[in-house]
Amino acid sequence: MPEPGGSLDHIFTPIEIGGLRLPHRIVMGSMHLGLEGLPDAGPRLAAFYRERALGGAGLIVTGGWAVSADGAADGSYGVLGSGGGRHLTRPEGQTTTAALETIAKATEGTEARIALQLFHAGRYALADSPGEVVAPSAIASRVSRTEPRALGEDEVWDVVAEFAAAARLARELGFAAVEIMGSEGYLVDQFLSPVTNKRDDSWGGDAEGRMRFGVELASAVREAAGDEVAVLFRMTGAELMPEARDWAEVEAFARGLVAAGVDALNIGVGWHESPVPTVQGVVPSGAFVPWAEALDASVPVIAGNRINRLRDAEEILAAGGIDLVSMSRPFLADPRIVEKGRSGGAVNVCISCDQACIDRSLVGGHVSCLVNPRSGYEVDFPAQDAEGRFAVIGGGPAGMEAARVLATLGGDVHLFEAREELGGQFRWARMVPGKEDYGATISYFESELRRLGVHLHLGHEVGEDDAEVIAGCAGVVLATGVHPRAVDIPGSSLPHVVDYATAFESGLGSAKSVAIVGGGGIGVDLAHLLAHESSDADDFYGRYDVELPSAVPFPSHSRKRHHATGSTAGASPQVTVMRRSGRVGSGIGITTRWVWLDALKHAGVETRTGLSYRRITPAGVEIVLEDGSVETIAAERVVIAAGQERRDELRPLLERTGVPFRVVGGAENPSELNAVRAFGDGLRAAYELAGL
């Protein structure tokens, strides 16, 4: 049975890129995993890619491998040349060649084929990167804040030669294709754009000069790769930067790449420093497909960015204009997403949170996935047996993952949840504009746990009466989560004051003004829910002043999304978010915090910091500012969102039974609680108990 939502015939139509035949139209896009620079990069990356190949992936593009030490963004990148080249030895690990040979063989025996992405960070390299920070011009970026050295005219040819040498190595090692990373603001983009290329020599000066580097590079890679290796070029359709290239230059560059022998164009959008979100949850699905649709190319065109469901990809392909769809993070969330599209089965949907993936990749961290914490850690969590009966108490993120893993390993699992529905605080997150996909996570676990035979005891709060049941278990996971922390503010017991849990569960009625005490992630989420702005594609383009390519006036496949707004129907209230000190939303990830705060500002939400709370009155919240002055924040309703406290009341009961147990998520440590840690705790606890 295919994925719910209809036929996927367009997806499962074979296609050729150059001489490379692919079984379907989904490309597993490049993701830097932070593993490439490790001593054991070969086996770790091979395990990651092979699991996805076995799950139905077609063309897999590796994370970027720097063509030289100067090209590496930081020490987490693999380096192909200039400082060791093919025989670069990793401390206590494989040579670069051996690691890549292992990766190239990861898809053997499957339909999948693997492409090596060739990468150069240019001015995006950090100051402590393995080589020198170089670029077309000496202009620092907001990403690295390091002024690069401008490449000399002859040195540019050296970089072209490094890309060619990397392509030649890829061919020798057995990769089916290479992809030149020429998007997201990296070196190729830096040559192309008038924002970063101020040269007056043959590598700049005008549009033709700025394009020369990318075209020469493509030609050199084409020659080095040989006829048997397909060459893809990931190019930017829209920089989304002030004073960026116009669409005519984008089209001209695409034509130049095709003339240089490129077999497919993979169209990206935005730079890492662009003031427009491109991959976050607030971006409507498929919002950036028009830039791929608008290209009239004689080679296959690949579209991507914020496409996280196969049914969306099918709709995009059916509309015509593009040939393949690139999905990256969805393969982190569910390695078997393509296989499930063929045969049916619940998909663990990417929720576009960025927290364990992009946020980590930008700082050289080990990339994983919030909703699939095993992603990137495949060798650390191999198949093993879990014998006996296990109890999981609590059905939030940590508990759901612990139950799923224990059942996958063969355990007889009983999951107890006091509420009538699984999900924990994800039930509230799914209500927030831009986080609707959090509800898909709950749906996935509901389906998957039942498929695995987990016994679900919903509406069952475990207590002393369950002691005998607990005592007969081989292990127990306590995942009872947190409850809102009470505050010591005079007036906090007034009837118009509620905690955040009540606000999410029951809404705030028709209040015209709301004050939120606490400016962490929960306070920001609640403010978004109360402001409830629309987020269809048309609104998105207007909000960020994004100009569509003239060839495609509007993306017909983009669908309007309707947000749940609880009982806050009608006009949005005036919302004020307060925090004693520090930045509002300081715990939110680096790639999403600015988006959420910008959206709050656009919706008219006021944020206040540098204050103390004097008292709460029927009129609102009295605050004392740093200069000693007193101000009243008018509010018909006041919401307390000032942290959480653990719910671990069952710990003494578990200790008395003598059964091995693990306490996870907020029940273990409510400090800086986030879903990444909760899901990860559930995974680790399951493996620990299974190994006892």
- Residue 12 tokens read as 């499962």
**186 flagged as catalytic:** yes
Q: Are 183 and 235 in contact (CB under 8 A)?
A: yes
Q: Specify the DSSP element, H or E, that contains 284.
A: none
Q: Give the gyration radius of the chain's Cα atoms.
A: 26
Q: Are 167 and 219 in contact (CB under 8 A)?
A: no
Q: What order of strands is seen across the sheet that includes strand 620-625?
A: 611-617, 620-625, 630-634
Q: Specify the DSSP element, H or E, that contains 621.
A: strand 620-625
- CA–CA gap between residue 185 and residue 141 (Å, rounded): 10
Q: Cβ contacts of residue 346 below 8 Å, gap of 6+?
A: 340, 443, 444, 447, 448, 451
Burial environment of residue 122 by CB neighbours within 10 A (0 to 12, 13 to 18, 19 or more):
buried
Q: Specify the DSSP element, H or E, that contains 386.
A: none
- Residue 622 tokens read as 């009295």
Give the Cβ contact number of residue 630 at 10 Å. 10
Using alpha carbons, select from 405, 378, 406, 411 the residue that is nearest to residue 55. 378
- CA–CA gap between residue 10 and residue 201 (Å, rounded): 46
Cα-based distances in Å from 195 to 68, 140, 189, 267, 321: 24, 11, 10, 20, 30
Place of tokens 């990861």: 106
Most distant CA atoms of the chain, gap in Å: 81
Q: Are 72 and 121 in contact (CB under 8 A)?
A: yes
- Residue 652 tokens read as 């003494």
- CA–CA gap between residue 33 and residue 245 (Å, rounded): 30
Q: Specify the DSSP element, H or E, that contains 248.
A: helix 247-259
- CA–CA gap between residue 314 and residue 28 (Å, rounded): 15
Amino acid letter, residue 422? L
Q: Are 653 and 371 in contact (CB under 8 A)?
A: no
Using alpha carbons, select from 297, 313, 228, 229 the residue that is nearest to residue 27. 313
Give the Cβ contact number of residue 224 at 10 Å. 20
Amino acid letter, residue 562? H
Place of tokens 């190019």: 235
Give the Cβ contact number of residue 460 at 10 Å. 16
Q: How far is CA 386 from the centre of its chain?
A: 31
Amino acid letter, residue 489? I
Residue tagged active-site, from 49, 77, 124, 186: 186
Burial environment of residue 511 by CB neighbours within 10 A (0 to 12, 13 to 18, 19 or more):
buried
Q: Torsion-angle region of residue 604: left (phi > 0), alpha (psi -120 to 50) or beta?
A: left
**DSSP strands (E only) in 120-273:** 134-135, 149-150, 177-182, 230-238, 264-269
Hey, which residues are catalytic here?
A: 186
